[in-house]
Structure 1
Amino acid sequence: MTHTLIKLKIFILIKRLAGNRLGSQLLRQDPAKIISNYARTVTLKSTPATAAIQEGHDERNMRLGRPQSPHLTIYRPQLTAMLSISHRATGIMLAGYIVLFSAAAVYLECPLEYYIEQLKCAEIGAGNIFFVKFLLAFPLTYHFWNGIRHLLWDLGKFLTIREVYATGWTMLAIATASAVALSGMS
């Protein structure tokens, strides 16, 4: 492209951007004067690219003199964080239950009810059976009631700090009571 063609294109662009009212005033002026007033020349200097330094996060922070972040060791565990972590953990446990009981149903010779009946006949003791039932039931009740709590948050309810803590303690009490009730069933 020639230099005058570039100037003409810039002039047309300025006229379009300025609109009809200002554009008609611009047309009366010399295009070279308009370009010198509204468009400035730019000179680019090329430099060769430098190779990126291959270093890890810690090495980069040490090179830049950044302090090490103290992480979890300085913080007191908070109810909200513990409930969030345990919600994920109970979800993982429930997925493990599904895999374990599905594999047992497929690979064991007798139905699952047979093995449950064998445990009852083994005279392990009512307290031990209750404890095992509780360990199996609590992840289910905890995940269920905490999921309801999350659904209430999705509706915009109980979102202040005080309400989050109150619903957390209430959910723990209801989940524990539900697990005890399920464990007591025969």
Structure 2
Amino acid sequence: MSLIFRLAGQRGASQFLKNNAGLINCVRPVTIKASKVTLPAEEGHDERNMKLKRPQSPHLTIYKPQLTAILSISHRATGMVLAAYTVGLGLAGIVAPEAVPNYIDCLHDVSPTIVQFIKFSLAFPMCYHFWNGIRHLIWDTGKFLTISGVYNTGYLMLLITFLSAGYLTFV
């Protein structure tokens, strides 16, 4: 079917061109020459910008560290630390040859300072993540969303975090 239409189109076009002598002079044969494709060199974003002499963006180094940014990053970090503690201590409890209370008794025999350091390193991320989460829940109610409210709740949260972590360390 397509062959019939192609032949009809060629014959119809040639008849049209012969009847219209003015159009014959406008039509000329075109040949297409194949050439190899050259791919652009693979360069990264920084290399391309250096080649184009564009300045590099200063990123975070130009900003003064703010309490809000540091508390936000710390909240994420303590969440990751708590997840690592959960997975690590859970796996250690499963594969350990002795029961967990045996290891705790061994730590008490070593030094009370080491035990307090371990307690604080376990308690601080938990307290920080907990109290900062409470702070965010209070924000969700629409309270303390001014700049002074955000900073005041940040300092208050840090104070409560250190007090509760210290309490859990020495109890």
Indicate the residue corresponding to 2:160 in structure 1.
174
Compute the displacement of 1:109 (Å).
Answer: 1.4
List runs of 5+ in structure 1 lacking aligned partners: 1-50
Q: What is the CA–CA distance in structure 1 between the aligned matches of 2:40 and 2:137, rounded to whole Å?
A: 46
- How many corresponding residue pairs? 133
1:66 aligns with 2:54: yes
Percentage identity across paired residues of the two chains: 57
TM value normalised by structure 2: 0.70
Identify which of 75, 78, 82 aligns with 2:70.
82
Paired letter, 2:63: Y
What do residues 110-151 of structure 1 show as CA deviations (whole Å, max 9, x unaligned)? 2111100111123x1x33322221111000000000011111
What do residues 9-28 of structure 1 show as CA deviations (whole Å, max 9, x unaligned)? xxxxxxxxxxxxxxxxxxxx
TM value normalised by structure 1: 0.65
Indicate the residue corresponding to 2:84 in structure 1.
96
Pair 1:52–1:164, CA change in 2 (3 A): farther
Identify which of 109, 121, 131 aligns with 2:97.
109
Aligned partner of residue 108 in structure 2, secondary structure: helix
What do residues 34-87 of structure 1 show as CA deviations (whole Å, max 9, x unaligned)? xxxxxxxxxxxxxxxxx8885432234335543211122222211111111111
Indicate the residue corresponding to 1:147 in structure 2.
133
> What is the aligned-residue RMSD (CA, Å)?
1.8
* Larger RCO (CA within 8 A; separation ≥ 6): 2
Indicate the residue corresponding to 1:163 in structure 2.
149
Aligned partner of residue 70 in structure 2, secondary structure: helix
Q: What is the CA–CA distance in structure 2 between the aligned matches of 1:64 and 1:148, rounded to whole Å?
A: 49
Indicate the residue corresponding to 1:128 in structure 2.
114
